[in-house]
């Protein structure tokens, strides 16, 4: 496994791989790796000849009031985990390598303003821009993303289709702790008591799944039940709980198509997200 910090080095390593006709899988991350990230790496390892993991806490996806400086980092541990999971190359640039007098951004209209985009207005522009750069730098054949950030995946997939990127995006399932809590680097911000409160997210989704499986199709009924579950943790504060169309992320009142049931909840110092996708048949 190699670790490099410059775009030039990535290209020098990958050019011969592409010339040989070998496939490259890319896993973009912000590091502080957990089993969720490792599941994406495993999938990339299964499907490609060469696996690149980028580890970059991308400043353009954080607003000035957000946690860019506090975001957890442990590059040495990340390297050990990548090596153990068969990664071929880590790209670990610093911000000045990625953004030097930067003036160009990629925005995916509409989808980026909904759900998390309401409280994080520049977030998805930053994500789309850094992913565009990573796709171009690596010329990867496939890139791997987690359903944990479902809106991110839908936005990037739209970008890839709208702008004719020659890359396939893969969506991988949410990896959870035994308690049900979706793994996230930001869980590090939580005390034990807050981790207990944070279980209301997965419990609310479990409730939604049970109602859907029982045939409930009125979103209002499901959302109400979810909010009741969240209210059992008095310190948890809802940002949003929504049932939306997977294509346009618009609210759905009666569930007669595939929907994303998504929520964002503040627990202590963290803003946590989780979701499920319901396939209508």
Binding of ligand AMP by 60 (CB under 6 A)? no
Which residues lie closer than 8 Å to 276 by C-beta, 6 or more apart?
A: 205, 208, 209, 260, 261
Closest CB to ligand AMP among 182 and 222?
Answer: 182
Structure tokens belonging to residue 233: 């943790």
Question: What CA–CA distance (Å, rounded) separates 243 from 261?
Answer: 4
Closest CB to ligand AMP among 108 and 182?
Answer: 182
CB-based contact 145:170 (threshold 8 Å): yes
C-alpha dist (Å) from residue 241 to 141, 192, 226 = 35, 24, 8
Q: In angstroms, what is the minimal distance from the CB of 253 to ligand AMP?
A: 28
Closest CB to ligand AMP among 60 and 185?
Answer: 185
- Using CB under 6 A as the binding criterion, the count of chain residues that bind ligand AMP stands at 17
Given its phi and psi angles, is residue 204 left (phi above 0), alpha (psi -120 to 50 degrees) or beta?
alpha
| Mask for 116-155, x = binds ligand AMP (CB under 6 A) | -----------------------------xx-xx------
Catalytic one of 18, 34, 37, 102: 37
- 37 labelled catalytic: yes
Q: What residue spans of the chain are helical by DSSP H? A: 7-19, 35-47, 75-84, 95-98, 116-119, 123-138, 150-162, 192-213, 219-231
Binding of ligand AMP by 278 (CB under 6 A)? no
100-108, 178-186, 195-203, 248-256 -> range binding ligand AMP (CB under 6 A): 178-186
What residues act catalytically?
37
Q: Which residues bind ligand AMP (CB under 6 A)?
A: 29-30, 36-37, 39-40, 145-146, 148-149, 172, 174-175, 182-185
């Amino acid at each position: 496994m190699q670790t490099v910090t410059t775009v030039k080095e990535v290209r020098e390593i990958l050019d011969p791989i592409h010339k040989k006709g070998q496939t490259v899988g890319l896993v973009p991350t912000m590091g502080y790796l957990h089993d969720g990230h490792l599941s994406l790496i495993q999938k990339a390892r299964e499907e490609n000849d060469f696996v690149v993991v980028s580890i970059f806490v991308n400043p353009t996806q954080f607003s000035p009031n957000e946690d860019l400086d506090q975001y957890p980092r442990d590059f040495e541990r990340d390297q050990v985990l990548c090596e153990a999971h068969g990664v071929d190359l880590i790209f670990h640039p610093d911000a000045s390598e990625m953004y030097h007098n930067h003036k160009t951004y990629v925005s995916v209209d509409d989808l980026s303003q909904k759900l998390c985009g309401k409280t994080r207005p520049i977030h998805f522009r930053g994500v789309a821009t850094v992913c565009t750069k990573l796709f171009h730098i690596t010329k990867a054949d496939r890139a791997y993303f987690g359903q944990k950030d479902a809106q991110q995946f839908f936005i990037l997939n739209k970008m890839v289709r709208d702008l004719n990127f020659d890359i396939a995006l893969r969506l991988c399932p949410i990896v959870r702790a035994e308690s049900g809590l979706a793994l996230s680097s930001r869980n590090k911000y939580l005390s034990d008591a807050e981790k207990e409160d944070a279980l209301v997210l997965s419990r609310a989704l479990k409730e939604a799944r049970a109602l859907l499986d029982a045939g409930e199709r009125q979103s209002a009924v499901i959302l109400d039940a979810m909010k009741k579950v969240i209210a059992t943790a008095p310190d948890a504060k809802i940002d949003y709980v929504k049932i939306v169309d997977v294509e346009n992320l618009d609210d759905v009142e009666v569930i007669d198509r595939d929907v994303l049931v998504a929520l964002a909840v503040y627990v202590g110092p963290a803003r946590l997200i989780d979701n499920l996708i319901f396939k209508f048949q």
